[in-house]
Amino acid sequence: MNLLVTGGAGYVGGAVARRLRAAGHAVTILDDLSTGHRHNVEGFDFVEADMADREAIEPVLARRRIEGIVHMAALCLVGASVKDPEAYYDHNLRRPLVLLDLALRAGVGRFVFSSSAAVYGEPDATPIEEGHPTRPTNPYGETKLAFERALAWHAAARGTVAVALRYFNAAGSTADGHGEEHAEETHLIPNVLRAALGGEPIAIFGTDYPTPDGTAVRDYVHIEDLAEAHRLALEHAAPTGRLTVFNLGSGQGASVREVIDTARRVTGRPVPVVEAARRSGDPARLVASHARAGKVLGWRATRVDLAGIIESAWRFAQRGVSGSR
């Protein structure tokens, strides 16, 4: 399939682009490099542009005869979204709506969208199924949900294939050395590993959550498993005319303290911690039910061992590139 992969210069996007290329698809990456890295797109057909730049994108869709779009370019930080909601509405809703319009005009029949567990907000119970009510607790989740809804109406009106993949917490690095290197790192695992490397102590945001050890619980899912789910979502015979939604998580929860303890064991190093207040917008517990992805796509996270996930992130962190651009 001729595919346009937006956000392919990023962490999850880079892993997905590599997996799709390895599966034989013709991949063009579209990224404005605002947070992604040029070295992640080396060897790919690459277009450096904003996804809402009509003049830049229109000819790409036509000349490459794009049949499917995997849309991953986004702002993706819960805490930042609470502080700067306008930017999240701009990058995660307004610009993607332009991209969707361009897709419509170009007759692109498949659209796979990177959504998020953040659409659920604070769940009534875990594991969370796709039919669980969506009540986002931050602008990040709100904007992801808003675009999902636009995509659903687009699919209904145009008879296209539309899939939303709700990621839980992407983690780890790929076997060929692709990993997490955000300029301003806010994610738990890379920051814990930075502390293990002698950096600042890791701040535990909230120790009074209604969880067994008082710290927030998340479902960490390896990026190679996430990448494989995108391949399956593109290749399976998805229904036309409606949005299909899948949770992508391991089905297992780990608390912040469990992540830190596991990192101590994996690295064999001390990880200094400081206890801090809750981070605004953070739900207490997000753990996926992956039953639907298993049943419909035949997908299952294969790297579910937290120590193994952290070990793969540690291999990448030790290369000393984390945080560099």
Residue 310 binds ligand UFG, judged by CB under 6 A: no
- Residue facing ligand UFG at closest CB distance: 216
Stretch that binds ligand UFG, among 42-50, 64-72, 121-129, 199-207 (CB under 6 A): 199-207
Residue 137 binds ligand UFG, judged by CB under 6 A: no
Stretch that binds ligand UFG, among 8-16, 49-57, 182-190, 299-307 (CB under 6 A): 182-190
**Residue that the structure tokens 């949900």 belong to:** 145
| Residue 140 is among the residues annotated as catalytic for this protein | yes
Q: Which of residues 38-77 bind ligand UFG (CB under 6 A)?
A: 76-77
What residue ranges in the chain does DSSP mark as E strands?
A: 2-6, 26-31, 45-48, 68-71, 110-116, 161-167, 169-171, 202-205, 217-218, 220-222, 242-248, 254-255, 273-276
Q: How far is the CB of 41 from ligand UFG (least distance, A)?
A: 21
**CA 276/CA 267 separation, integer angstroms:** 24
Q: Which of residues 7-26 bind ligand UFG (CB under 6 A)?
A: none
- Among residues 11, 120, 140, 209, the one annotated as catalytic is 140
Rounded to the nearest 5 degrees, what angle is found at the Cα of 76, between the Cα atoms of 23 and 190?
A: 80
Specify which residues 69 forms β-bridges with.
Answer: 4, 111
Output 97 or 203, the one with its CB closest to ligand UFG: 203
Q: Which of residues 94-133 bind ligand UFG (CB under 6 A)?
A: 116-118
Q: How far is the CB of 304 from ligand UFG (least distance, A)?
A: 16
Residue 314 binds ligand UFG, judged by CB under 6 A: no
Give the list of residues 6+ apart from residue 61 with CB closer than 8 angstroms, or none: 4, 102, 103, 106, 108
Q: How many residues bind ligand UFG (CB under 6 A)?
A: 22
Among positions 204, 248, 271, 310, the unique one binding ligand UFG when judged by CB under 6 A: 204
Q: Which of residues 143-172 bind ligand UFG (CB under 6 A)?
A: 168-169
Rounded to the nearest 5 degrees, what angle is found at the Cα of 177, between the Cα atoms of 222 and 32?
A: 85
Dihedral sign for Cα atoms in the order 263, 265, 267, 272: positive
Residue 88 binds ligand UFG, judged by CB under 6 A: no
**CA 214/CA 183 separation, integer angstroms:** 29
Residue 203 binds ligand UFG, judged by CB under 6 A: yes
**Residue that the structure tokens 């490459």 belong to:** 64
**CA 17/CA 92 separation, integer angstroms:** 20
Strand, helix or coil for residue 22: helix
Catalytic residue list: 140
Tell me which residues touch ligand UFG (CB under 6 A).
Answer: 76-78, 116-118, 168-169, 186-188, 191, 202-205, 216, 218, 256, 279, 282, 286
